[in-house]
Amino acid sequence: MSMRVELDEPKCVASGQCVMAAPEVFDQRDEDGIAILLEERPGEELLDGVRDAVAVCPAVAIRLVEQ
């Protein structure tokens, strides 16, 4: 069972909270700060950070789904 991250980019409000929670998994576009997904299938050691990102994203734009 692996976990996959989904980012609903049109919903993103560029708060950058995902980058603070999981900098290995998320980054931001230079032109407007909108989130970029760096790792669609992050390793186990990164999942706590991704769960934090899911919890703090103000736009509810991030999901962690089981594959």
Partner 1 sequence: MADIAGTTAGSAPEAYEAPQAPDSVPDFPMPRAARCPFDPPPALKELQEKAIQEGAPLTRVRLWDGSTPWLVTRYAEQRALLADPRVSADFTRPGYPNRAPRSEGGGGLGFILMDDPEHARLRRMVTAPFAIKRVEAMRPAVQKIVDDLIDDMLAGPNPVDLVEAFALPVPSLVICELLGVPYADHDFFQHNTKIMINRVSAPEERAAAVQELAGYLGRLVGERLADPTDDLLSGLAERVGAGELTHRQAAETAVLLLVAGHETTANMIALGTATLLEHPDQLALLRESDDPKLVAGAVEELLRYLNITHTGRSRAVTEDIEIAGQTVRAGEGLIVPNEIGNRDPEVFPDPDRLDLRRDARRHVAFGFGVHQCLGQPLARMELQVVYGTLYRRIPTLRLATGIENVPFKHDGFVYGVHELPVAW
Q: Does 20 bind partner 1 (CB under 8 A)?
A: yes
Strands (E) located in 3-66: 3-7, 26-28, 35-37, 62-66
Q: Does 32 bind partner 1 (CB under 8 A)?
A: yes
Q: Does 33 bind partner 1 (CB under 8 A)?
A: yes
| Whole-angstrom distance, CA of residue 31 vs CA of residue 48 | 28
What are the residues whose beta carbons fall under 8 Å from the beta carbon of 59, sequence distance 6 or more? 8, 11, 12, 13, 15
Indicate the residue among 2 and 48 with the shorter CB distance to partner 1.
48
Indicate the residue among 40 and 60 with the shorter CB distance to partner 1.
60
Which residues make up the interface to partner 1 (CB under 8 A)?
11, 13-17, 19-21, 23, 28, 30-34, 52, 55-56, 58-60
